[in-house]
């Protein structure tokens, strides 16, 4: 019998993870989510008695969710405030929701005897890297947003808990993830704006921002390779980049979205928020992760960045018509 706890399991990536775990015949999946960014409807289509949803706030170590950790075999900690821009304007939100909540999760793991923890970290821990692709051992790690700083703080907590308390930790540094039920990010922003005005698209930044995108289905497959490796390893924790081998710029994404929406002659209006053309203060302008470490385990992305974006856009457009 295998019991998995998924924090943030009603969110975009979390709900896709829940589907994946149930397909992989996990015996019990418990989702803990305060529904601040997650949604009940992201799980409502799953008719499976192995799934339970507990609506609770990880910022408060309430027995309703803490007790679930005492019988859990593995915890996937995916709960977080995902808005990087919000972290710049309201840092306390990210400290509370991304650091305090994570500390409470780690304490529940320690007291509950959890043996394995998977953490959804972020490429933002690298800050403005000067080496591309950026490997896991890149230093110094200097995040330029409170979101990135919070993720890095939690990484450090996890590595220490792994060493001190024997919780095997998998720290996964994600590129930009796209796919079904995506609720924020550049393609969501573009689709919303183009529905409001199909003739004009406001683009945050100067359009030269260039990043890597990974489809959530590729992410979940890669995660299984890492978990298998973690269980065979004697190391207390592992850090892996999970991204793609290529990257695309914002103008290319705008072209892709307008094409999929059947629009032409759309005027692009650029709104740089910084002298060097970023979309907002704290935005990493260039991101491409070195994924050779996970590729050495046998995994490789099924979809390129552009293919992943196109598939995600088509899903979002299709979902709006259902």
Which tens digits make up the pLDDT trace of 72-82? 999 999 999 98
In which band, very low, low, confident or very high, does the pLDDT at 152 lie, cut at 50, 70 and 90? very high
| Model-wide pTM > 0.85 | yes
Average pLDDT for the chain: 96
- Which of the four pLDDT bands, split at 50, 70 and 90, describes residue 319? confident
Amino acid 1: pLDDT:
85
Q: Which CATH number fits domain 182-212+245-285+304-315: 3.90.25.10, 1.20.1250.20, 3.40.190.10, 3.30.470.10?
A: 3.90.25.10
Domain residue extents for the chain = 3-177+213-242, 182-212+245-285+304-315
- Strands in the chain per DSSP E: 3-7, 28-33, 51-55, 74-77, 116-122, 168-174, 176-178, 200-204, 210-211, 213-215, 237-242, 248-249, 267-271, 286-287
Judged against a pLDDT cut of 90, whether residue 2 lies above it is answered with yes
pLDDT value for 84: 85
In this predicted model, what pLDDT tens digit does every residue of 163-181 receive, in sequence order?
999 999 999 999 999 999 9
Q: Is 60 helix (H, G, I), strand (E, B) or coil?
A: coil
Query: What pLDDT, in 10s, does the model give residues 265-296?
Result: 999 999 999 999 999 999 999 999 999 999 99
Query: What is the pLDDT at residue 306?
Result: 98
Please give the C-alpha separations between residue 113 and each of 72, 106, 170, 249, 287, in angstroms, as whole numbers: 8, 10, 16, 45, 37
Please name the helix (run of DSSP H) or strand (run of DSSP E) that holds residue 57, with its range, or none. none
pLDDT at residue 321, as a whole number: 54
Q: What is the mean pLDDT of residues 109-130?
A: 98
For residues 269 and 200, the answer to whether their CB atoms sit within 8 Å is yes
Q: Which CATH superfamily is domain 3-177+213-242 in?
A: NAD(P)-binding Rossmann-like Domain (3.40.50.720)
């Amino acid at each position: 019998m295998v019991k998995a706890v998924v924090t943030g399991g009603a969110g975009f990536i979390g709900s896709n993870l829940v589907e994946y775990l149930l397909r992989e015949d996990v015996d019990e999946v418990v989702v803990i989510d305060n529904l601040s960014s997650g949604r009940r409807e992201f799980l409502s289509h799953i008719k499976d008695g192995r799934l339970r949803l507990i609506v609770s706030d990880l910022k408060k170590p309430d027995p309703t969710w803490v007790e679930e950790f005492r019988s859990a075999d593995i915890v996937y900690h995916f709960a977080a405030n995902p808005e990087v821009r919000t972290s710049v304007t309201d840092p306390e939100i990210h400290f509370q929701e991304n650091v305090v909540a994570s500390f409470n999760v780690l304490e529940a793991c320690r007291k509950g005897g959890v043996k394995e923890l998977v953490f959804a970290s972020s490429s933002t821990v690298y800050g403005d890297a000067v080496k591309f692709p950026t490997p896991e051992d890149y230093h110094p790690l200097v995040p330029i947003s409170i979101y990135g700083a919070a993720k890095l703080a939690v990484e450090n907590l996890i590595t220490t808990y792994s060493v001190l308390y024997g919780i095997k930790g998998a720290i996964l540094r994600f590129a930009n993830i796209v796919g079904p039920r995506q609720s924020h990010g550049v393609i969501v922003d573009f689709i919303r704006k183009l529905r409001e005005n199909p003739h004009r698209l406001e683009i945050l930044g100067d359009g030269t921002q260039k990043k890597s995108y990974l489809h959530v289905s590729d992410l979940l497959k890669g995660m299984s390779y890492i978990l298998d490796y973690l269980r065979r390893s004697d190391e207390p924790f592992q850090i892996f980049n999970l991204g793609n081998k290529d990257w695309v710029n914002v103008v290319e994404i705008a072209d892709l979205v307008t094409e999929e929406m059947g629009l032409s002659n759309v005027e692009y209006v650029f709104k740089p928020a910084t002298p060097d053309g970023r979309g907002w203060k704290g935005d990493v302008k260039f991101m491409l992760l070195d994924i050779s470490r996970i590729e050495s385990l046998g995994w490789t992305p099924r979809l390129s960045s552009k293919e992943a974006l196109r598939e995600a856009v088509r899903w979002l457009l299709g979902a709006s018509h259902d």
